Amino acid sequence: MTGARVAARGWGWRYATRHAWAARGLDLDIAPGERILLSGLSGSGKSTLLHALAGVLGGDDEGEQEGSLAVDGIDPRNVRGRAGLVLQDPDTQAIMHRVGDDVAFGCENLGIPREETWRRVSSALALVGLEVSLDRSTSALSGGQKQRLALAGALAMQPGLLLLDEPTANLDPAGVIEVRDAVARVVEATGATLIVVEHRADVWRDMIDREVRLGAAGTTTADFGGTRSAGPETSGSAAEMPYASAPLLEARGLTVARVRGRV
C-alpha cells in the first residue's frame, strides 16, 4: 500500500438540484502520505470534496463539475478501491449483520480472492483494535466500535487515500479516543494519505501535517503549513480568516412574536 497523490485545479461541483455551487475554484496539492485536516465553515464544500475524491458524487445527471480533480493523476470516478471513505454516523455504515462479513464487503466488490479477502479482514480488525468475533452482530457494537468497524472495512480494501468525514461527531469522549487512536495506527502502519474533516480539531492536532481551510463557497483555500502545528480553526479576526465574507443577513431592532391568526 502506498499513499495517494491528490490534485485539484479550478475544481468545482454543483448539485443538479441547486443554483449555487457546493465548491468552486478549488486548487489543491496533497503529497503521498500527507496528513491533512480539512476545515472551514459549514457549507464551504468539505464533505462534497471528500465524496468527490471517493468517486461517489455521481455522473452528469447528478451534478455539474468544472476544472479537474485527480487521485494519482486519474479522475476519482474512474478509480475503484484507491480511496476509502468513513462517514460520521456509526449506525448507518454497517452493511452486513456480522462483523467479518461487513469488513469483507468492500473486498468482495473489488473481486479480491476469498483467501486474500479474509486475510485482509483479520489484519484490518487487528490494526484498528477491534477485538471481537467475526460472527459478532454489528448491531451489538458500541458507537466507537462501529466507527472502527467502518475504518476496518475501508482499510481492508488497502486504499492509498483515507477520507474521514467528521468520524467522531456522534461519539462519546471514550469513543472519540478509540477512533482517533485507531486512525493513528492505520496511517502509521500503511502510509496512506489522510484527509480528515472534523470540528473537534484539537483531537487530531498531534497527527496532522497540514491544515487546509476552504472558503465560504469552496472558492479559496489557505494552507497552514508546518508539521502538526496548525492553529485553531477559530483563531484570528474575521478579516484574517480565509473564509471571511460580507454578512448575508443583518437585523436592527428586530422583534419576533407569535400573533394569533397570523402565520
Q: Structural domain of residue 199, as residue ranges?
A: 6-224
Question: 219 pLDDT exceeds 50?
Answer: no
Question: 66 pLDDT exceeds 90?
Answer: yes
Amino acid 241: pLDDT = 37
Query: Tell me: the pLDDT tens digits for 69-116?
Result: 999 999 998 888 889 999 988 888 888 999 999 999 999 999 999 999
DSSP 151-219: HHHHHHT--SEEEEESTTTT--HHHHHHHHHHHHHHHHHH--EEEEE-S-GGGGGGG-SEEEEE-TTS-
Amino acid 239: pLDDT = 33
**Phi, psi angle pair for 205, to nearest 5°:** -55, -40
Has residue 49 been placed in a domain?
yes
Has residue 241 been placed in a domain?
no
Has residue 101 been placed in a domain?
yes
Look at the chain and report how many structural domains it folds into: 1
Record the cell numbers describing residue 41, joined without a space.
Answer: 465553515
Query: Tell me: the pLDDT tens digits for 168-198?
Result: 888 888 888 988 999 999 999 999 999 999 8
Has residue 151 been placed in a domain?
yes
Pairing mode, if any, of strands 63-71 and 221-224?
Answer: unpaired
**CATH number of the domain residue 185 falls in:** 3.40.50.300
Mean pLDDT of the chain: 85
Has residue 206 been placed in a domain?
yes
Instruction: Report helix, strand and coil shares of the chain as percent, to nearest 5.
Output: 30, 20, 45
